């Protein structure tokens, strides 16, 4: 029996495959890092400004995350923020956390 995916990376890869899932997991981590820095869940515009990307790209990132986590996007990101500490603010560390 296969074990249930436990980390952000495992959940995303299980849903979207290796390549797209890994990219989505990185985007989840980026959202969580941004949210941890500003203290709340960022809108697409805030996220785009924080990461210095185009707002359309921010919406694409958000859509890929929503494909995995559905309407729980904000809750998952903020649960990851609650698990993070100053030393774990790298995408690799965030992708290894368990989503809510």
* pLDDT tens sequence across 30-39: 999 999 999 9
Is 0.85 surpassed by the pTM of this model?
Answer: yes
Mean pLDDT value across the chain: 93
CA distance 6 to 97: 8
Q: Tens of pLDDT along 41-67?
A: 999 999 999 999 999 999 999 999 999
Q: How many CA atoms lie within 13 A of 77 on its CB side?
A: 30
Band (pLDDT 50/70/90 cuts) for residue 100 is confident
Location of structure tokens 């100053």: 86
User: Which of 8, 3, 5, 24 is CA-nearest to residue 79?
Assistant: 8
Q: What is the crossing angle of helices 8-16 and 18-38, to 10°? A: 140
Q: Hey, how many other C-beta atoms are within 10 angstroms of the C-beta on 2?
A: 5
Whether 94 has a pLDDT exceeding 70, the answer reads yes
What pLDDT, on the 0 to 100 scale, is given for residue 31?
A: 97
Assign 93 to helix, strand or coil: helix
CA distance 67 to 65: 5
């Amino acid at each position: 029996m296969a074990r249930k995916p436990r980390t952000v990376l495992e959940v995303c890869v299980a849903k979207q495959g290796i390549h797209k899932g890994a990219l989505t997991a990185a985007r989840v981590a980026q959202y969580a890092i941004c949210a941890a820095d500003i203290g709340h869940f960022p809108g697409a515009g805030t996220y785009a400004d924080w990461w210095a990307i185009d707002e359309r790209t921010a919406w694409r990132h958000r859509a890929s995350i929503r494909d995995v986590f559905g309407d729980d996007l904000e809750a998952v990101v903020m649960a990851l923020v609650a698990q993070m500490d100053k030393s774990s603010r790298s995408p690799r560390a965030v992708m290894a956390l368990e989503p809510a």
